[in-house]
Amino acid sequence: MSRLVLKFGGTSVADVARIKIAAARVKREVDAGHQAIVVVSAMAGTTNQLVAWCNETAALHDQREYDAVVASGEQITSGLMAIALQSLGVKARSWMGWQIPVMTDAAHGKARIREIRRDAMEASLAAGEVAVVPGFQGRTEDGRITTLGRGGSDTSAVALAAAFEAERCDIFTDVDGVFTTDPRIVSKARKLDRITYEEMLELASQGSKVLQTRSVEIAMNHRVRVQVLSSFNDQPGTLVVDEDEIVEKQVVSGIAYSRDEAKITVMGVADRPGVAAAIFGPLAEANINVDMIVQNVAHDGRETDMTFTVGRAELDHAVRVLENALHKGFEAATIAHDSSVVKISVIGVGMRSHPGVALTMFRTLAEKGINIQVISTSEIKVAVLIDEEYLELALRALHTAYGLDAG
Amino acid sequence: MSRLVLKFGGTSVADVARIKIAAARVKREVDAGHQAIVVVSAMAGTTNQLVAWCNETAALHDQREYDAVVASGEQITSGLMAIALQSLGVKARSWMGWQIPVMTDAAHGKARIREIRRDAMEASLAAGEVAVVPGFQGRTEDGRITTLGRGGSDTSAVALAAAFEAERCDIFTDVDGVFTTDPRIVSKARKLDRITYEEMLELASQGSKVLQTRSVEIAMNHRVRVQVLSSFNDQPGTLVVDEDEIVEKQVVSGIAYSRDEAKITVMGVADRPGVAAAIFGPLAEANINVDMIVQNVAHDGRETDMTFTVGRAELDHAVRVLENALHKGFEAATIAHDSSVVKISVIGVGMRSHPGVALTMFRTLAEKGINIQVISTSEIKVAVLIDEEYLELALRALHTAYGLDAG
């Protein structure tokens, strides 16, 4: 008898009718002889409502209380899912994060799982009960409720699959799997049958919303086989697996994009050691993630420009932090910023053995008259920042250029 | 420094704006030097939605899962209230039922509090924090979430006031206090300044929705001073206190009514010992509460009728149970039932020393041509069952007859 984790996202448990459909899906696996751990998100829209209430109560609010409020969304779904399973004759019970318990650190709002204590739930599974777990939840050592951050239910599912040594973790969503790129923009996008952890990680962190980055990291570290599939049909989805399991590697597997980008340029800073630290130190202290970075050559041997990107929502905060830092150190510098940019990332493990992937990208964009503002690369990724007006044009051109078009 | 429990019902925390108003009310008590335990209900409408979802998922559902679902309503409010207090500069934190913990029995859906463990919350109060507690919640010895049944937040509030030895338990609601009768029906109804525990208990159990019966029992047993007042104005409410604290006792303090009644008559049962047990035994086993009971004199010395009332929602169930019992024992008997009845109860501790209260009731109703179907009395109560068509007429006539009219 093998063990599966089945995770249903918000649209797959959007209302009672959908919860019943999801429960029937679980029943099929139980009838096939599997032990099942079911992880559920909040019903679609619920988390947004709860977050809005917190913000409405106070713009700056205690993250511990925020966690208590928003964790209730998943709690509701878990009870309803247990009821739905029972009504189909499937033995089931809900397990809140604090009941299992899923122990996390105390970084409320974006906690990280430290340990999942197996004993109680293991006994329940052994007794033939389906365990229904609200995703996204944990508790601290001193007994406060934590949440794992947006998309945290994926993380819960993969972490439970790792802790309970599940054969596979099925992530049910409203799309058919992982696509070569966003099919809403590129009609010729294709569903991938398999993708490597590394590629999935890049896709997730570069803007693909299919899986949360942290969940892919855990899957990769613990070699959890993850399947992304639709709860709206019975088609197989995309399997996220070890590179060994993929025989025919593509040079480029997918193209991700992110609109959540803003560009900041600090002009006229002295070109001397320590200047980067003087800029990025204050940003790091303010908990602002900096992504792409380029430093121009000094204009006159003494001054230089520094350009980098931050999350669009953090732009105002970042600019304020930098203006403070300027006050204290770089009187000559000025700050420019632009939030009408997007990042496009071309991803594939095959890049390692195929040079020229970046060149194809630059050439393709140049042919369409698209200016590249910033470039960053990793072993299996080339990412560029461009004017957001060109997003769709660029995506379609690159999808064709890398031979990803369907049919 | 004294300690207060402040409980806010659903309409008093109906939305974020109301939660902020309630928080400001708490702040006034804190600024006046009180320690405060704040107990909150779910935002108005939330519990109904959660219950509806459970019923929609499965008509018959696991009460343990029901509890997990519906307890989330209060959880949400408690987090928002803590945030609202903090935003006013008041130190506060939420305490879920399982965190305090409030230990209950395992009667899910209508659990009873066994013990409130004080240590952790006591330390927090001593550190100057307001404790915000979701009402209605507890946990079992083996760690499942329980709820105390409808209106259970009142019970939570009074039980916390008893456990933490609060000076007073303020129950904030959308009415100004306890009235002589329902002011929506009787425009001359008056707010009572004080009422005894015994009277409040009868009022609550006879249909007044102001306080939950169980909460009044606990208040009476632990001599918790309870104030019922409005969160929509700053007027003093009604104080529920010991009889000793009320100098001028009224013969009749209030008139309650309940539409939640249904009458069952079992006709043609043998008039022999054990027949009552044969009827009420199966009902008790089916967990159906029977309220008023009358047995007619035997028609011919051998057969009799038995009339009694049950909650209207339980009528169908009760009739089924009785039909089964009939099959097994009373072939001759037939069952009639009527759910178009209401119970009116006249209540007052002064009755003990003033005979004639019942007579006034019978005479008043007779003058209005209202037929009394069943009568029951206690030391401080006379209750009658009448056709529901006459409810308003009867209430107004009795209110005048007992000298309760305002002005």
Nearest to B80 among A57, A93, A96 (CB): A57
* Neighbouring-strand partners of residue A383: A345, A376
Which chain B positions have a beta carbon within 8 Å of A72's beta carbon? Answer: 72-73, 75-76
Maximal CA-CA distance, chain A: 77
CA–CA gap between residue A62 and residue A333 (Å, rounded): 36
Give me the numbers of helices (H) and strands (E) for chain B, helices first please.
11, 20
- The band of A246, judged by pLDDT with boundaries at 50, 70 and 90, is confident
Task: Show the low-confidence residues of chain B (pLDDT under 70).
Answer: 1, 298-299, 301, 329-332
Question: What is the model's pLDDT at position B250?
Answer: 79
Mean pLDDT of chain B: 92
A80, A91, A140, A146: best mutation site toward chain B, by most B Cβ within 10 Å? A80
Question: Chain A to chain B, count of Cβ pairs less than 8 Å apart?
Answer: 117
Q: Per-residue b/e over A92-106, b at no fewer than 16 CB within 10 Å?
A: bbbbbbbbbbbbbee
pLDDT tens for A138-152 read 999 999 999 998 779
Question: What is the model's pLDDT at position B360?
Answer: 93
Pairing of strands B238-241, B194-196: parallel
Question: What is the model's pLDDT at position A331?
Answer: 56
Question: What is the model's pLDDT at position B298?
Answer: 67
The stretch A59-79 carries a mean pLDDT of: 97
Nearest to B69 among A67, A76, A143 (CB): A76
Question: What is the model's pLDDT at position A7?
Answer: 98
CA–CA gap between residue B129 and residue B345 (Å, rounded): 43
- The DSSP string of B187-225 is TT--B-SEEEHHHHHHHHHTT--SS-HHHHHHHHHHT--
Q: Do B69 and A57 touch (CB under 8 A)?
A: no
Question: What is the model's pLDDT at position A332?
Answer: 61
B53, B57, B121: best mutation site toward chain A, by most A Cβ within 10 Å? B57
Backbone φ, ψ for residue A281 (5° rounding): -60, -55
Closest chain B residue to the Cα of A69, Cα to Cα = B76
Question: What is the model's pLDDT at position B155?
Answer: 96
CA–CA gap between residue A376 and residue A371 (Å, rounded): 15
CA–CA gap between residue B238 and residue B219 (Å, rounded): 14
| Predicted complex ipTM | 0.84
pLDDT tens for A97-112 read 999 999 999 999 999 9
Mean pLDDT of chain A: 92
Residue B101, preceding peptide bond in cis (omega within 30° of 0): yes
Radius of gyration of chain A (CA): 23
Q: Quick one: how far is CA A384 from the chain centroid?
A: 19
pLDDT tens for A157-179 read 999 999 999 999 999 999 999 99
Question: What is the model's pLDDT at position B212?
Answer: 87
Q: Do B83 and A64 touch (CB under 8 A)?
A: no
- Residue ranges, comma separated, of all CATH 3.30.70.260 domains in chain B are 262-338
- The band of A330, judged by pLDDT with boundaries at 50, 70 and 90, is low
Residue B183, token pair as written in the block: 């002011």
Question: What is the model's pLDDT at position A46?
Answer: 95
pLDDT tens for B276-313 read 888 888 999 988 989 898 887 766 767 788 899 999 99
Residue B286, token pair as written in the block: 């089916």
E-assigned strands of A231-322? 238-241, 254-258, 262-270, 290-295, 303-310
Nearest to A72 among B57, B64, B76 (CB): B76
- Residue ranges, comma separated, of all CATH 3.40.1160.10 domains in chain A are 3-174
Which chain A positions have a beta carbon within 8 Å of B80's beta carbon? Answer: 53-54, 57, 65, 69
The amino acid occupying position B146 is T
Residue A282, preceding peptide bond in cis (omega within 30° of 0): no
Q: pTM of the entire structure?
A: 0.86
**Residue of A350, A206, A223 lying closest to A291 (CA atoms):** A206
The alpha-carbon gap from B93 to the nearest alpha carbon of chain A, in Å, equals: 7
Closest chain A residue to the Cα of B56, Cα to Cα = A16
Residue A290, token pair as written in the block: 């900096």
Cα-Cα end-to-end distance for chain B: 40
Task: Give A47's contacts (C-beta < 8 A, 6+ positions apart).
Answer: A10, A41, A70, A73
Alpha-helix runs per DSSP H in A117-272: 119-126, 152-163, 197-205, 213-222
A51, A83, A94: best mutation site toward chain B, by most B Cβ within 10 Å? A83
Closest chain B residue to the Cα of A19, Cα to Cα = B57
pLDDT tens for A31-51 read 999 999 999 999 999 999 999
Nearest to B58 among A76, A86, A93 (CB): A86
Say if residues A340 and A377 touch (Cβ distance below 8 Å): no
Cα-Cα end-to-end distance for chain A: 40
The stretch A328-342 carries a mean pLDDT of: 82
* Residues making up chain A, counted from first to last: 407
Domain range A262-338, CATH class? alpha beta
The stretch A216-237 carries a mean pLDDT of: 95
**Which residue is associated with the tokens 């009235």?**
B179
- For B3-174, CATH gives 3.40.1160.10
- The DSSP string of A68-83 is HHHHHHHHHHHHHHHH
Instruction: Bin B301: left if φ > 0, else alpha if -120 < ψ < 50, else beta.
Output: left
The alpha-carbon gap from B74 to the nearest alpha carbon of chain A, in Å, equals: 9
CA–CA gap between residue A163 and residue A224 (Å, rounded): 10
Does residue A322 carry a pLDDT above 80?
Answer: yes
Radius of gyration of chain B (CA): 23
